Amino acid sequence: MMEEIEDMLGRPLKVSEKQKIITWLNKYKTKPYMMTQAFSYSVNNKKIKRFNYIESVVSAWYDAGVVDLDTMVEYLEKRNDRFSAYSRISKALGFNRTLTEAEMRTIDRWIDEWDFSMEMILKCLDNSTKINNPNLNYFDKILSDWYKNGFKTIEDLKNDKKPEKTKKETSKSKNKFHNFIQSEDISGDDLEKIAREKFKKKLNKLGLAIPEENNGNE
């Protein structure tokens, strides 16, 4: 682990730095290969080598329940998508500042609890240019009303009525089963290979280290 980290940093680790890493392993109950991934993510993805930043990454993963590569990829992909959403919404509102924690929690509710698409959120924000000092509370009220009325698409707004279940929605489970049946034409080894290659691409995109075969979680 230490040698891999030194390769990423491009220099030998100081004794004090090694002690910090060992402390983090115990404090955050992190496995060595996960610590290596934290350095890989910080150095390769964020281009940051500061130890206080890397500890913040390890701490955030610990708080989020990230314990292996699968949960790490899931966490980072969701985080990246969410910050992209924050950026688009902030731009639509004409904010020339960073969103506050409260504002980000409000947006999280729109996406996670109320299940609004970005299209619907941006539609709601269309009127922001007509309002002096637009704030999220104003649009939160509008989206709350849409949520209570069952409006999920632009078409629902045009019709001003609650959407009915479509044939596509009712056949969703059937389509999933059909897709599963089709996948049986591919051998188990081929499916595993496809999944492994797809996972490697995700790791590479996120700036994470690709583990050796049969040694990913050791």
What is the domain partition of the chain in residue ranges?
Answer: 1-79, 100-157
In the predicted model, what is the mean pLDDT of residues 55-73? 91
Distances (CA, A) of 154 to 41, 163, 200: 38, 11, 37
State residue 216's pLDDT score.
Answer: 47
**Using an 8 Å Cβ cutoff, are 54 and 42 in contact?**
yes
Which of residues 83 and 102 earns the better pLDDT score?
A: 102
- Answer whether residue 218 shows pLDDT above 80: no
Distances (CA, A) of 96 to 79, 87, 106, 129: 22, 11, 18, 14
**Using an 8 Å Cβ cutoff, are 152 and 143 in contact?**
no
CATH of domain 1-79: 1.10.10
Distances (CA, A) of 109 to 16, 30, 54, 115, 117: 42, 30, 29, 8, 12
- Answer whether residue 194 shows pLDDT above 90: no
Which of residues 69 and 109 earns the better pLDDT score?
A: 109
H helix runs in the chain, sequence order: 2-9, 15-27, 32-40, 51-63, 69-93, 101-108, 118-125, 136-148, 154-159, 167-170, 172-183, 188-205
- All residues at 6 or more sequence positions from 210 whose CB lies less than 8 Å from its CB, including other chains: 200, 203, 204
Give the three-class secondary structure for 47: coil
- pLDDT tens track for 168-190: 444 444 454 445 445 455 666 66
Q: Which of 30-44, 112-126, 131-145, 202-216 has the lowest mean pLDDT?
A: 202-216
Which of residues 214 and 205 earns the better pLDDT score?
A: 205
Q: Which of 65-69, 76-80, 190-194, 210-214 has the lowest mean pLDDT?
A: 210-214
User: Rounded to an integer, what distance in angstroms lies between the CA atom of residue 51 and that of residue 11?
Assistant: 14
* pLDDT-based confidence at residue 166 (cuts at 50, 70, 90): very low
State residue 57's pLDDT score.
Answer: 92
- Answer whether residue 58 shows pLDDT above 70: yes
**Average per-residue pLDDT in the chain?**
81
Which of residues 95 and 31 earns the better pLDDT score?
A: 31
Transcribe 133-191 into DSSP letters. S--HHHHHHHHHHHHHTT--SHHHHHHTSPPPPPHHHHTHHHHHHHHHHHHTTS-HHHH
State residue 141's pLDDT score.
Answer: 93
Which of residues 142 and 164 earns the better pLDDT score?
A: 142
In the predicted model, what is the mean pLDDT of residues 101-110? 91
User: Rounded to an integer, what distance in angstroms lies between the CA atom of residue 107 and that of residue 141?
Assistant: 12
